[in-house]
Each structure stands twice: as C-alpha cells, then as structure tokens.
Chains A and B, each alone.
Chain A
C-alpha cells in the first residue's frame, strides 16, 4: 500500500500569502512520481505538506484512505531524503540509520539486521562506524537514503536529493535510485527536482507545478509529446520549445496557420471550423526543426552556433521574437553561422496553443 490522494490542497502563509491552490492529485501505490517546476513554484512545499513538516491550510491529504492532515510525520508511513542530506553529524553512519528504529523501541537484533541489510544494498558496510564528516557527498546521500530504507516506509519522499552532488555523481546516484525503486516495486516514491533530466529518466508520471497549481500530470513522454499548455511545453525539453505567433487560416483534420513573420505552418492538431482566424502560438521543439530550400516556418540569420559533437545548436537573430529561436540539427554545422536559413518542421511536430492552452486538449 501507499496510495496518496490530495484533494483541493492549498497552502497559505500567514493567512495572506498563497503559494499553492486547489491541488488535486492521486498517486497510486508503487508509483514513482516527480514534482517539477520553476523555482518558487511550491514543489518542495507540497512535498513537505505530504511529509507533515508544513501544515496543510486547505483541503485534505489521504494516505491509504486515511485523512493525514493532523497526523504527526512519524505516523504517516513516510520517510524523507533531504537535499542537504540532513545526517546527524554527531552520530556514526550506523547510529544515523538506527535512530528511528531505536526511537520506535525495536529490539537490538531487529535494528542490527535492518541496518546491515540497508548498508549492503547501498554499499555502505565498510563505512558503518564512520561519522558523516568522514564521508564524501555521494556516500552521505546514500546514508540518507539508507536511513529511509531501514524504516521500510510505504512512501519515500525525496527533496532534490541530487542537487548537492557533482554531475558525474548525480548520474550514478540517479541510477542507484532507479535500481532501488525496481527492488521495491510496491513502494511509492515522490521525488522533487528542478532538473528535467532527472524527472524524465526516473518518473512514472511527472507533475509540472506552475502558477500555484498543477500545469500538467502525465508520463514523461506524454509531457514531451503532448504538452497541455505553453508552460509545460517550454519547461520540458532542452533547449526550450520555440513559440511563433500566428493566425489559424485552415481548419480540419490538419490545421493551417499563417505566422505573423510571414511563414506558413501545418499542424497535425485537429481544429473545428469555429477556430478559424483565432490567434495562436505554434510550438516546435528545436530538435524537430530542419533546414529546407522551399517554404518554411521562418527564415532567419544564424547568430551563434554551438557544436556539441552529436548535434549543433543554431541560435537565430531575433527580429522582435524573444527569446531567440533555436534549432538543434544532428551533426556538426559550424559553417551555418551568419547564413540565412529557412527552417521547417513536420506537421506531427507542430503544436498549437490558443491563449496558452494546447488545442490538443479540449
């Protein structure tokens, strides 16, 4: 078990500052769900409310059908891993992991067994008698994870657990968390991050938080392929999706859009006759743009090129559209710099947003 249900959950500080509003979310047992969003969107606050470290000021939180709003953190069946590891600096690795079990008055044998088992899983057996200060960042984070494991909670909460690690270690620990999840298929994990690579690689489902609410919930590829609004469209994927303003000039199974800068676009998105003439933004990911000799979405002078080896990023000179349009072409294209290039994209890669919302969803 480990079902989490949030109903109309909101958070207000001091009765006036509203940070989260009417969050509705159902998390099924065994899911690994990731909260992402721009900084300050309240993703950590939401996690801390589930943990019981922040008071829920509106709505209800249920875990396995039981209302948890006023249940103390230790009795919610959760464990939490913090960004700063939050290890007890005066205790050895063993004592850090055993602390919760000692408080729960478990027998010595039981505690030892749980600690040794967790240490084995996380390759910490050799470090059990060290103090946290004698460990590297990655080892510290593993101890923090071990401290959660020994309690065998129904729900694991991760608050940006990899943010304090360097790039290589981040990848290694990320894979370790994924493996851990596989070993415990019935345990729920809720993971907060601002790193979309972590979100895309780890999540069963991603919750994108923005503007005090949920912008979209879905599997990583769903969010990438069918973003519900401009916010999600530009947040997921790197570099961000290009947005070009225009008007709908043809409706039906495919939609035709004439762009304000002169280009023409065809999208696979279905529209109705009543949509004719609506002002929209089309969205195309940089990796879906390709150079063409014929008519395209836009023509622009390449301002800067960034050759990354496998791909080359082209930054176009901006003529009023801000931020700069970006294309990601496979291979090396340093010679494109300064050239005028016309870019186009296949209809199935052209998204259409009206007033910020995708026309795919209605």
Chain B
C-alpha cells in the first residue's frame, strides 16, 4: 500500500474510533441509566456524575501513558545502572553523585542560570516594547506579522540561520556572515563568534530572544488592547505623559499577563536544547542541561546519569510551571 494511502487510512480509522468511543460510551451510559421511567430523576443525576469522566478518560489515558509513565520510568532509570551483557542493578543515588562531580554538569547548570536571567526578561521587554510601539501606527499589523514570523521557524531552522549570521571565514576572504562582514567593513578583524568563551552563550541566547519576542508581543498586545481606554484618558486628564501612562497605568494593569509570558519563556529556556545542539553542541563552554542530558543518553549511552539530569531539569521546571498555571487561572477568572 502506498504510504500516503496508509496515512489516510490511519487518519480515517483514528477519527472513527474517537467518534465511535464518545458516541458509544454515552449511548451505553444512557442505556444503563435511562433518563425515563420511575427512576428518571435519580438516573439522570448518576449519569451526569459519570458523563464528564467519559470525556476526560481519553485525555487522562494519553497523559498517563505518554507523560506520567515516562516520568516514573526516568526516575527508576536514574537510580539504576545497566549491567554489561544484560539486566540492570539498583545503585541508589550514585548516578546523581557522579553527575554532581562532573564539571560539565556544573557548566551546564551555570549556563542555564545565565539563560534564565537573560532570555525571559529580554524577550518579555522586547515583546512589550513591540506591542506598545506597533499599537497605534498604521502599518502596525504588518510590523507585528514580521516580528511574529520567527515563531513559525523551528528552533533548528533558526539556529542554522543564525549560524550563518555568525559565520567566520579566514581573514582576507569575503565574509558571508553578516556580523563579520560588518566588523570587517568597519575595519575590524573577523572573529569566530561561537568559540568566544562566555560571550558565545549570549550569541546563542539572541536566537531564542529573536524567536520568543514575537510570542511575547502577541500575548502582551492583546493584553494592552484589553486595558479600558477610559483609564488611559483619565490619566491624560490627570496630566500623565506617555511614559507615565505606559509605566504607571498600562504596565501595572497587565502585570499578571507579563508574569505568564515571563514564566512561559522561563520554562522554554530551562528545556532549551535544539539551538545549542545545532550551533555549538555544547562546545566552547556553552553546554546546557538538556544538551548534557542528550550527550549522556544518546552519545555516551549512559542511561543512569542521563536520566538523573532529566530529573534535575524536571525538578527545576516544575515549580515555575505550577506558578504559571496558577497565574493563568487567576487571569482567566
């Protein structure tokens, strides 16, 4: 069978099963507790208690299988070691102690912290700036589309684009990377930017800021639009200048949205992998936790330490995620 046909068949079967499940299970419920006869009222109440779970079940099942199970399994793997030739043995926390003694792990922790300090803040600030500045101009929506566009590019694609921006050719040759081209044009000497220790981290961060600013802008722009126009007019009459209106009237009113944007980007930053993997693969002092995990799991084939680092990432992300969800809920209510 042609692969396309196979795909189509899969889709058709998948959708039919979904529709069949919801239809069939509800039909069955109504047959077990018919909403008629002498016990109609009691049956309706029972059926109404059960019905939400019929709808929730597929999602809960999928989340359990693809989210909860891997978490438990990763935790188990992080506490075991593979025995050469087959099988595994419990090793307690030795994977963790081994990991904590590796300088590369602490380099990754340090870099992740650096990313955490710079990227969410910068992306939120640029997003807020873009949202405010594009709000009142005629070509604002075009500007917004352009700023939002990097969101549509995959992280790896963006990494490749920026790798070309930072590209370096030997001195004397034509520079195809725009950064070096500019440096040379201004009379400097070309630099291999991605190997500059410490600073190369920031060159990688630029890529994520470039992508996430668009996301921040879209969310914050909607929030800015939601501010009642009268509060701004009242501030104008009270004598506030545009800067004061922005910082004292507008920003405080969208503070919770700003926090949601900031935490969302924070979570993305903690998991950052693709950009580092595609641009430096963690060399020259740019290692981050997710790439460290990948190195351990799939290059060194060390299940134990790899899983341990995965758990570390999860533990770091979890509190921020909880806080983010709470914020988002408060925003909605």
On A, residues with C-beta under 8 Å from B are 51-53, 72-75, 78-80, 82-91, 99-100, 103-104, 147, 151
Q: Number of residue pairs across A and B with beta carbons under 8 Å?
A: 62
Residues of A within 8 A of B235 (CB): 88, 99
Residue of A nearest to B230 (CB): A86
CA distance A73 to B239 in the complex (A): 7
Contact indicator A103/B233 (Cβ below 8 Å): no
Closest 6 CB pairs of A and B: A74-B239, A86-B230, A100-B238, A90-B252, A86-B234, A82-B230
Contact indicator A73/B236 (Cβ below 8 Å): yes
Residues of A within 8 A of B237 (CB): 51-53, 73-74, 78-80, 100
CA distance A79 to B238 in the complex (A): 8
Question: How far is the CB of B227 from the nearest CB of chain A, in Å?
Answer: 9
CA distance A73 to B238 in the complex (A): 8
Tell yes or no: B281 within 8 A of A by CB: no
Instruction: Please encode chain B, from 224 to 256, with 1 for each CB lying within 8 Å of some chain A CB and 0 for all others.
Output: 000010110111111110001000110011010
Residues of B within 8 A of A72 (CB): 236
Q: Looking at the complex, which one of B228, B240, B252 makes contact with A86 (CB distance below 8 Å)?
A: B228
Q: Which of B251-277 contact A (CB under 8 A)?
A: 252-253, 255
Contact indicator B244/A103 (Cβ below 8 Å): yes
Contact indicator B228/A84 (Cβ below 8 Å): yes
CA distance A82 to B234 in the complex (A): 8
Q: Which of B48-82 contact A (CB under 8 A)?
A: none
Residues of A within 8 A of B236 (CB): 52-53, 72-74
CA distance A79 to B234 in the complex (A): 9
Residues of B within 8 A of A86 (CB): 228, 230-231, 233-234
CA distance A52 to B255 in the complex (A): 29
**8 CB < 8 A contacts A-B:** A53-B233, A82-B234, A84-B228, A86-B234, A87-B231, A87-B234, A90-B255, A100-B239
Given contacts A86-B228, A90-B252, contact A104 B239 (CB under 8 A): yes
Residues of A within 8 A of B248 (CB): 99
Residues of B within 8 A of A99 (CB): 235, 238, 240, 248
CA distance A151 to B253 in the complex (A): 24
Residue of A nearest to B254 (CB): A90
Contact indicator A90/B233 (Cβ below 8 Å): no
Question: How far is the CB of B245 from the nearest CB of chain A, in Å?
Answer: 10
Contact indicator A89/B234 (Cβ below 8 Å): no
CA distance A244 to B233 in the complex (A): 46
CA distance A30 to B235 in the complex (A): 25
CA distance A103 to B240 in the complex (A): 7
Residue of A nearest to B234 (CB): A86
In the complex, which of the residues B234, B244, B253 has the most CB atoms of chain A within 10 Å of its own CB atom?
A: B234
CA distance A51 to B237 in the complex (A): 8
Residue of A nearest to B227 (CB): A89
CA distance A99 to B240 in the complex (A): 9
Residue of B nearest to A159 (CB): B230
Q: Looking at the complex, which one of A52, A78, A89, A100 makes contact with B253 (CB distance below 8 Å)?
A: A89
Contact indicator B228/A74 (Cβ below 8 Å): no
Given contacts A74-B237, A74-B238, A100-B239, contact A88 B249 (CB under 8 A): yes
